[in-house]
Amino acid sequence: MKEEKTIEAAFGYVFHRPELLRTAITHSSWANENGGGASHNERQEFLGDAVLELCVSWKLFSLFPQAREGDLTRLRSRLVSTTALAELAHELGLQHSLNLGKGEENQGGRHRDTLLSDALEAVLGAVFEDGGYDAARRTVDHIFRHRWPETLEYTPNKDFKTQLQEVTQRMYKNRPVYVLVDSHGPEHAKEFVVRLNLPNGQSFTTRGASLKRAEQDAARRALEACGALENRSPAE
């Protein structure tokens, strides 16, 4: 119940049928380990993928009435890429509320981009089931409120590692240090564990499906702790 309320607050939507949200945050690995007949979120992810594309398309169509099809397609692709959606899911705290099987949990599924982006789409699919298109459109507008482009021109933000290096040089006259603590799992689903050490003695340990992803996530957390997170990293 607490997890559901947290998600509702993050997404700006209160479910009339909370069972739809419970299904949306339940991965198939959990359903398989708790009885094959248990509900999981794959169908909602299928629906949410279409809902998200429509809502984002309409928002961009409305923001840029003179834009060409190619420009709108380019902007939409950046907004709904797997990496961008996983980053958004992290910002919303969705990873903390997912129901995962033990095997998936042990393999780092809670921090895997594809799983997180699928879960985000599943929640949006559940919103559509529960409240229809208008509710889904308002929810997408809410969770993307800091991400909608202001112009058709794309100016990449500095990534989190670059931002952090600038901050630590300014504050401590020194650089952060990234240490690969561990890597495990099969080649197709390897997980990397990284520890970031700041010059002031603080450290942050993160996991990711790639070394780059783990280091970027560690840098993001450090920036948040320093109160210096100003710009979002571009999608990889």
Q: What is the pLDDT of residues 183-221, one digit of tens each?
A: 887 766 678 899 999 999 999 999 988 888 889 899 999
From 45, 49, 113, 130, the catalytic residue: 49
Read off the pLDDT of residues 93-140 as tens digits, 9 standing for 90 and up: 898 899 999 888 888 788 888 899 999 999 999 999 999 999 999 999
Q: Are residues 117 and 25 in the same domain?
A: yes
Task: Supply the pLDDT for residue 234.
Answer: 44
The span from the CA of 170 to the CA of 227, in Å, is 14
Q: Are residues 134 and 164 in the same domain?
A: no
The span from the CA of 230 to the CA of 170, in Å, is 15
CATH number at residue 219: 3.30.160.20
**Positions of E strands within the chain:** 177-184, 191-197, 203-208
Q: Are residues 22 and 63 in the same domain?
A: yes
Query: How many structural domains does the chain have?
Result: 2
Q: Are residues 166 and 114 in the same domain?
A: no
To the query of whether residue 118 is one of the catalytic residues in this protein, the response is no
Kindly state whether residue 118 falls inside one of the protein's structural domains: yes
From 121, 159, 191, 215, the catalytic residue: 121
8 Å CB contact between 27 and 115: yes
The span from the CA of 137 to the CA of 43, in Å, is 19
To the query of whether residue 150 is one of the catalytic residues in this protein, the response is no
**Which residues span the domain enclosing 210?**
160-226
